[in-house]
Amino acid sequence: MTKARTKIKIEREHHHFDASGKIAGRLATPIAILLMGKHKVSYQPHLDMGDFVEVENVSKLKLSGKKAEQKYYYRASGYPGGLKKIPISRLLKEKPQEVFRKTVFCMLPKNKLRKEMIKRLTFKIK
């Protein structure tokens, strides 16, 4: 006997946030919850039920503590000695939306849905 599969209609809403003067992690937490869809009554962890989120004024974002001087993002080229380290302060000046995208990306569940969830995060550049 097979179970009948029901189609679930997902209704996505649009949310707007202003990042000016806010701390990155404190703003990223509610955004990650909206992208996952955990705020909905019909939340199911195996389905991508999240909403669209648009963030503006990302260049005016703040970091708490001494993160601006002490935190680094690392990349490896795959060759010996190919580890690159970029200070977050430099990346925040050049590409502030990438710093915030990485912050939110790490707060999403580590599964196959994460790439689809992060696609619904957009930035409004003025």
pLDDT tens per residue, range 84-113 = 999 999 999 999 999 999 999 999 999 999
Model confidence band, residue 125 (pLDDT cutoffs 50, 70, 90) = confident
pTM of the model: 0.88
For strands 83-87 and 72-76, give the pairing.
antiparallel
CA–CA distances in Å: residue 15 to residues 70, 75, 83, 99? 32, 32, 38, 20
Topology of 14-64+95-124 in CATH?
Ribosomal Protein L13p; Chain: A; (3.90.1180)
Across 95-107, b (16+ Cβ under 10 Å) vs e yields ebbebbbbbbbeb
Task: Check: CB of residue 24 under 8 Å from CB of residue 63.
Answer: yes
The mean pLDDT value for 28-36 works out to 97
Query: Is a pLDDT exceeding 90 seen at residue 114?
Result: yes
> Residue 23's beta-bridge partner residues?
62
Task: Check: CB of residue 93 under 8 Å from CB of residue 7.
Answer: no
Return the higher-pLDDT residue of 125 and 54: 54
Query: Is a pLDDT exceeding 80 seen at residue 126?
Result: no
pLDDT value of position 10: 85
| Domain-wise residue ranges, the chain | 14-64+95-124
CA–CA distance, 120 with 126 (Å, rounded to integer): 19
CA–CA distance, 26 with 28 (Å, rounded to integer): 6
Amino acid symbol at 28: A
What does the block give as tokens for 102? Answer: 């990485």
pLDDT value of position 2: 64
Return the higher-pLDDT residue of 1 and 8: 8
